């Protein structure tokens, strides 16, 4: 393996078939010959039409589904052979309603029986960075949608591992909150630099946030484009108004429109 490639996906095929052996089922071909790599500390977005297999792919990378052909390796380790810890966040915030924000955030540390005292020491600055100061003892239903997503992101951030898999984290937010969350995520990422694989169906979001955008075809999903975004960092909103940005958008739209049946 090339040491730089923290995520390496090679010729992955995934078919969902009915577990009942008496059902004559040809199976549903979800992923077809998917190959790509992500380098250490890169922010890569994966865009593609709904149902093309994005969430399926993330589940394979997270090691939650091992029924597939091909290889998924993280930090040089085949995930079928041994567990590689990753931070994984679903579109739904999945915060436990009966727990306070603080105890929701500390859940992954609790689950892995980590040193809560040690983590708590750095919590104050993280809580403030994630815009949650003063809300530590609130329950999730007392927070706005954006705050809940930030709490879920902080919880994801505290999971073990250098790789963050984010599955449409802002998909359910209104446009203004989504914009604020993008700006905030970009600032946090530019400071902390983790390897991020970010699933979205929003082209602007993908270009604005990423170092590289991977484009997926309709199901069975395969990678049909790999576009480096060469805007400098820090990213600022004005970039979204320029001709360079529109160039990226046009290329991506063209690729995605070709995927329609």
Ligand X SMILES: Nc1ncnc2c1ncn2[C@@H]1O[C@H](COP(=O)(O)OP(=O)(O)O)[C@@H](O)[C@H]1O
Which residue stretch of 23-31, 49-57, 65-73, 105-113 sits at the interface with Mg ion (rule: CB under 5 A)?
A: 49-57
* The dihedral sign for the CA sequence 237, 242, 244, 246: positive
CA gap 68, 124 in Å, rounded: 42
Closest separation in Å from C-beta 132 to Mg ion: 26
Residue 51 partner contact from ligand X, Mg ion, none using kind-dependent CB cut-offs of 5 to 8 Å:
ligand X
Closest separation in Å from C-beta 155 to ligand X: 21
Residue 96 partner contact from ligand X, Mg ion, none using kind-dependent CB cut-offs of 5 to 8 Å:
none
- Taking the least distance from each CB to ligand X, the nearer of 16 and 245 is 16
Residue 178 partner contact from ligand X, Mg ion, none using kind-dependent CB cut-offs of 5 to 8 Å:
none
**For residue 213, what are its two tokens?**
């955008």
Taking CA atoms, 169 is separated from 3, 43, 146, 156, 165, in Å, by: 29, 14, 10, 11, 10
- Taking the least distance from each CB to ligand X, the nearer of 31 and 154 is 31
Closest separation in Å from C-beta 128 to ligand X: 33
13, 41, 55, 103: residue in contact with Mg ion (rule CB under 5 A): 55
**For residue 69, what are its two tokens?**
């052909």
- Taking the least distance from each CB to ligand X, the nearer of 104 and 217 is 217
Angle at 205 between CA 200 and CA 206, to 5 degrees: 65
172 contributes a contact to Mg ion by CB under 5 A:
no
Look up tokens 């003892």; give the residue.
137
Instruction: Give the footprint of ligand X on this chain (CB under 6 A).
Output: 16, 28, 30, 48, 50-56, 219
| Close Cβ partners of 84 (under 8 Å, ≥ 6 residues apart) | 63, 74, 75, 77, 161, 163
Are 43 and 186 spatial neighbours (Cβ–Cβ below 8 Å)? no
Residue 182 partner contact from Mg ion, ligand X, none using kind-dependent CB cut-offs of 5 to 8 Å:
none
Binding site for Mg ion (CB under 5 A): 54-55
């Amino acid at each position: 393996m090339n040491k730089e490639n923290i995520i390496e996906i090679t010729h992955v095929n995934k078919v969902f078939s009915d577990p009942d052996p008496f059902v004559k089922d040809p199976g549903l071909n979800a992923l077809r010959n998917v190959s790509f790599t992500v380098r250490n500390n890169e922010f890569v977005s994966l865009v593609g039409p709904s149902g093309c297999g994005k969430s399926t792919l993330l589940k394979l990378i997270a090691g939650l589904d091992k029924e597939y052909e091909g290889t998924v390796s993280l930090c040089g380790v085949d995930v079928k052979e041994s567990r590689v810890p990753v931070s994984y966040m679903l579109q739904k915030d999945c915060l436990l309603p009966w727990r306070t924000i603080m105890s929701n955030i500390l859940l992954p540390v609790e689950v892995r029986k980590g040193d809560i005292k040690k983590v708590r020491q750095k919590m104050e600055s993280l809580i403030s960075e994630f815009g949650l100061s003063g809300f530590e003892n609130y329950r999730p239903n007392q927070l706005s949608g954006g705050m809940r997503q930030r709490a879920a992101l902080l919880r994801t951030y505290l999971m073990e591992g250098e790789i963050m898999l984010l599955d449409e984290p802002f998909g359910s937010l209104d446009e203004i909150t989504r914009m604020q969350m993008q700006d905030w995520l970009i600032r946090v990422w530019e400071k902390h630099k983790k390897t991020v694989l970010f699933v979205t169906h929003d082209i602007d979001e993908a270009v604005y946030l990423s170092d590289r955008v991977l484009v997926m075809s309709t199901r069975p999903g395969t990678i049909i484009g790999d576009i480096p975004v060469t805007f400098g960092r820090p990213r600022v909103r004005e970039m979204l108004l320029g001709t360079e940005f529109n160039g990226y958008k046009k290329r991506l739209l063209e690729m995605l429109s070709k995927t329609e049946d």
